[in-house]
Amino acid sequence: MCQKMIQQFLKEAVMNRQSILGTFAVAVLFSVVFTSCKKEEHQYHTVIDKIEAESQNYQGTSISSDQYLSEINLIEITEGDHTFLIPERKSQIKSFECNECHSKPIEELKGEGHGQKAHWDLTLIHANKSTMNCATCHDGSNMDELKSLTGVKIDFNNSYNLCSQCHSKELDDWKGGAHGKRMESWAPPRASLTCVDCHNPHDPSFDSRWPSRFNTQTEEERK
Ligand code: HEC
Ligand code: HEC
Ligand code: HEC
Ligand code: HEC
Which region holds residue 115: left if phi is over 0, alpha if psi is between -120 and 50, else beta? left
In this structure, the number of other CB atoms found within 10 A of the CB of residue 143 comes to 19
CA-based nearest residue to 88, from 219, 223, 211, 196: 196
Q: Which residue, by CA, sits nearest to atom 19 of ligand 1?
A: 118
Segments of the chain scoring below 70 in pLDDT:
1-42, 113
Cα(216)–Cα(44) distance, integer angstroms: 46
Is the shortest distance between the CB of 170 and ligand 4 below 6 Å?
Answer: yes
Ligand 2 center to residue 124 CA distance, Å?
9
Cα(128)–Cα(133) distance, integer angstroms: 9
How much of the chain, in percent, has pLDDT values that exceed 90?
65
Would you say the pTM of this structure is higher than 0.75? yes
pLDDT at 38: 47
Residue 219: strand pairing partners: none
Q: Give tens-digit pLDDT for 137-181.
A: 999 999 999 999 999 999 999 999 999 999 999 999 999 999 999
* Pair type for strands 146-147 and 153-154: antiparallel
pLDDT at 39: 46
In this structure, the number of other CB atoms found within 10 A of the CB of residue 169 comes to 9
